[in-house]
């Protein structure tokens, strides 16, 4: 019964089953923590966020430390448990990115890959397997474990090839990242996902369709086991039908034909309800949807009472560092993108659950070409970007209560959104002051309420929704875009005066980027630079296109 609706196979394999691979990294945060700190090797380890052990390694699990246990209980049950702070997600994000690129290296370009959270990956390997079958018509012996009922030789052959591919990918990921993972192989996302959880850790299972398999492996599980049945749906189901705790219960309460009732209960569309009810029977035709770059890169934290300016500043600093770290890591995965908008999110203690969002223009230093892993000037560019984001965020918070104590924040967040591939849509280097924390623009934001970019006490009429449901105000960006103020060099920080000609600025930037960050702004070019042919057409380039050119050059 685990299967797909007709017509869902990819073009080259319309009459063969889909081959879907699902991967789930083993005790992900704990494995990354141990890998990054070898002194923890061989010890029971728990990763802590707030007061919970969000995950533990398999040694700790053997000693009774379950995922999501309160720290107090975990330590009481396992005194030798080594606790690791997991509040900084950056190392986990980086590790996830390493795993994804290791897998991409081994798969044909264009293979659909979908990411679920940080540590789960789905791959539609149907076409890859069909190509392997052309090269080696005899299927290999099935690697790893197998569950379910064998249907026919062709089905089994396709799954065996998928299993061989999964084994190769797992071995490659271990070699490249030193992290282990489980794999599930099936003819749908649902089958593959369920298969990943059957034999753990560091193992793989092939799931062959069959009604018995549905009853054994899917029916007793929580509805959350169905891909697409998120936490929100589970919460709503618990509210209206607390008696339903399993897929079997859901299937019995909402038999075929009860899609509208389920849609009502979950607050979903009828087509989603239809998909979920089919999935309860083991039928899943959903496609592996390749993950595009995120629409927003954000970092936020909730707290009890954040009520002094110093504490707020520290918190904003940590969040800004994390957000910019993620933007930098994202360049490796998605290529350079330029966030046009800084979104500040906050909530005051005692004001309910809904946070407030404010949008301002993103400091241009966040798009600096030097803000890139491996760049020799990375560290300076990173510090500058963090400092600019902190200042702008504090200016927004000042406008929204930080300057009027007593206040107490219960949530703070910063996000980068409104991305463009090219930086030409951004304010030109000469028309804004993106790289100096004490720029005129920054001062305006803090001091002059009439020109502040951070000023929007209530949602504006021309706000447009970004896909995650947050709002971005176009008008709120305008004062920042048009500011005619001096700028400074993104590499060495040297100030450019208003009188500095564009061509001189370009020369200076070329010189800095070639590794000589101390060049002045004299109108004559210094002899030590050598012949002008080294200047890569700096003479004719307009300052406004600086970032685009740098990008093309890379």
Write down the least CB distance from residue 57 to ligand TTP, Å.
Answer: 9
Write down the least CB distance from residue 124 to ligand TTP, Å.
Answer: 21
Of 116 and 529, the one with the shorter C-beta distance to ligand TTP is 116
Spatial distance between the Cα atoms of 282 and 259, rounded to a whole number of angstroms: 16
Under the rule (CB under 6 A), what is the footprint of ligand TTP? 24-29, 54-55, 67-68, 119, 200-201
Of 46 and 336, the one with the shorter C-beta distance to ligand TTP is 46
Residue 284 binds to Mg ion (criterion: CB under 5 A): no
Cα–Cα distance list, 104 to 22, 113, 299 (Å): 14, 9, 26
Q: At what angle do helices 309-334 and 378-397 cross, to 10 degrees?
A: 130
Which tokens hold the place of 42?
């061989």
Asked whether the CA dihedral 98, 103, 106, 110 is positive or negative, the reply is negative
Of 68 and 154, the one with the shorter C-beta distance to ligand TTP is 68
CB atoms within 10 A of CB 298: 18
Write down the least CB distance from residue 492 to ligand TTP, Å.
Answer: 41
Spatial distance between the Cα atoms of 481 and 431, rounded to a whole number of angstroms: 8
Q: Pick from Mg ion, ligand TTP, none: which does 272 bind, CB < 5 to 8 A by kind?
A: none
Of 26 and 388, the one with the shorter C-beta distance to ligand TTP is 26
CB atoms within 10 A of CB 496: 23
Spatial distance between the Cα atoms of 491 and 427, rounded to a whole number of angstroms: 18
Write down the least CB distance from residue 197 to ligand TTP, Å.
Answer: 8
Query: Site map for Mg ion, 25-44, x if CB under 5 A?
Result: x--x----------------
Which tokens hold the place of 545?
């296109």
Of 20 and 278, the one with the shorter C-beta distance to ligand TTP is 20
Spatial distance between the Cα atoms of 140 and 124, rounded to a whole number of angstroms: 19
Of 93 and 494, the one with the shorter C-beta distance to ligand TTP is 93
Q: Pick from Mg ion, ligand TTP, none: which does 154 bind, CB < 5 to 8 A by kind?
A: none
Interface residue with Mg ion, options 30, 95, 114, 119 (CB under 5 A): 119
Residue of minimal CB distance from ligand TTP?
Answer: 55
CB-count burial class (<10 Å; 0-12, 13-18, 19+) for 539: exposed
3-state secondary structure of 413: strand
What is the DSSP code string of 27-79? Answer: THHHHHHHHH-GGGTTS-EEEEETTEEEEE-HHHHHTT--TTEEHHHHHHH-T
Of 22 and 130, the one with the shorter C-beta distance to ligand TTP is 22
Spatial distance between the Cα atoms of 297 and 22, rounded to a whole number of angstroms: 25
Write down the least CB distance from residue 102 to ligand TTP, Å.
Answer: 17
Which tokens hold the place of 458?
């209530």
Q: Omega into 67 within 30° of 0, i.e. cis?
A: no
Q: Which stretch binds Mg ion (CB under 5 A): 18-26, 127-135, 359-367, 487-495?
A: 18-26
Q: Pick from ligand TTP, Mg ion, none: which does 29 bind, CB < 5 to 8 A by kind?
A: ligand TTP
Q: Pick from ligand TTP, Mg ion, none: which does 435 bind, CB < 5 to 8 A by kind?
A: none
Of 98 and 442, the one with the shorter C-beta distance to Mg ion is 98
Map the footprint of Mg ion across residues 124-153, applying CB under 5 A: none
Residue 399 binds to Mg ion (criterion: CB under 5 A): no
Write down the least CB distance from residue 176 to Mg ion, Å.
Answer: 18
Residue 24 binds to Mg ion (criterion: CB under 5 A): yes
Size of the site for Mg ion (CB under 5 A): 4
Which tokens hold the place of 375?
């760049």
Show the DSSP H helices in 335-439 as ranges: 378-397
Of 202 and 332, the one with the shorter C-beta distance to ligand TTP is 202
Determine which helix (DSSP H) or strand (DSSP E) holds 318, and give its type and residue range. helix 309-334
Interacting residues with Mg ion (CB under 5 A):
24-25, 28, 119
């Amino acid at each position: 019964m685990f299967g797909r609706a007709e017509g869902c196979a990819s073009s080259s394999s319309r009459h063969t089953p889909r081959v879907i691979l699902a991967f789930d990294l083993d005790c992900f945060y704990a494995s990354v923590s141990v890998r990054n700190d070898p002194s923890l090797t061989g010890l029971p380890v728990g990763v802590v966020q707030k007061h919970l052990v969000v995950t533990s390694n398999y040694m700790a699990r053997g000693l009774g430390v379950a995922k999501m246990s309160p720290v107090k209980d975990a330590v009481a049950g396992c005194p030798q448990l080594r606790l690791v702070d997991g509040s900084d997600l950056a190392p986990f994000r980086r590790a996830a990115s390493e795993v994804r690129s290791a897998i991409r290296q081994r798969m044909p370009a264009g293979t659909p890959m979908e990411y679920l959270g940080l540590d789960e990956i789905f791959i539609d390997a149907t076409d890859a397997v069909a190509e392997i079958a052309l090269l080696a018509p005899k299927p290999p012996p099935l690697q790893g474990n197998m569950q379910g009922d064998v249907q026919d030789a062709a089905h089994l052959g396709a799954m065996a090839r998928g299993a061989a591919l999964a084994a190769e990918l797992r071995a490659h990921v271990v070699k490249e990242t030193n992290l282990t993972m489980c794999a599930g192989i099936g003819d749908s996302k649902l089958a593959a996902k369920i298969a990943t959880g059957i034999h753990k850790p560091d193992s793989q299972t092939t799931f062959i369709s069959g009604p018995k398999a549905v009853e054994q492996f899917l029916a007793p599980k929580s509805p959350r086991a169905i891909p697409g049945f998120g936490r929100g749906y589970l919460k709503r189901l618990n509210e209206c039908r607390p008696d339903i705790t399993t897929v079997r219960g859901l299937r019995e309460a909402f038999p075929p034909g009860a899609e509208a009732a389920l849609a009502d209960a979950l607050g979903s569309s009828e087509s989603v309800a239809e998909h979920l009810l089919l999935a309860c029977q083991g039928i899943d035709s959903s496609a592996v949807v390749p993950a595009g770059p995120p629409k927003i890169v954000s970092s936020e934290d909730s707290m009890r009472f954040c009520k002094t300016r110093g504490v707020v500043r520290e918190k904003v600093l940590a969040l800004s560092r994390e957000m910019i770290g993620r933007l930098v890591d994202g360049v490796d995965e998605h290529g350079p993108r330029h966030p046009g908008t800084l979104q500040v999110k906050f909530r005051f203690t005692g004001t309910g659950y809904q946070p407030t969002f404010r949008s301002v223009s993103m400091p241009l230093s966040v798009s600096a070409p030097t803000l890139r892993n491996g760049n020799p000037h990375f560290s300076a560019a990173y510090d500058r970007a963090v400092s600019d984001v902190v200042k702008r965020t504090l200016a927004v918070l000042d406008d929204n209560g930080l300057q009027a104590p007593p206040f107490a924040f219960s949530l703070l967040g910063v996000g980068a959104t409104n991305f463009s591939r090219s930086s030409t849509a951004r304010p030109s280097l000469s028309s804004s002051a993106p790289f100096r924390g004490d720029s005129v623009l920054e001062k305006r934001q803090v001091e002059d309420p009439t020109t502040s970019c951070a000023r929007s006490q209530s949602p504006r009429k021309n706000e447009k929704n970004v896909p995650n449901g947050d709002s971005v105000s176009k008008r709120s960006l305008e004062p920042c875009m048009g500011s005619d103020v001096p700028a400074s060099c993104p590499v060495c920080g040297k100030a450019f005066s208003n009188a500095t000609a564009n061509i001189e600025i370009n020369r200076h930037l070329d010189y800095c980027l070639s590794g000589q960050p101390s060049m002045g702004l004299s109108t004559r070019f210094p002899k030590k630079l050598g012949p002008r042919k080294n200047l890569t057409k700096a003479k004719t380039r307009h300052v406004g296109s600086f970032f685009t050119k740098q990008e093309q050059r890379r």
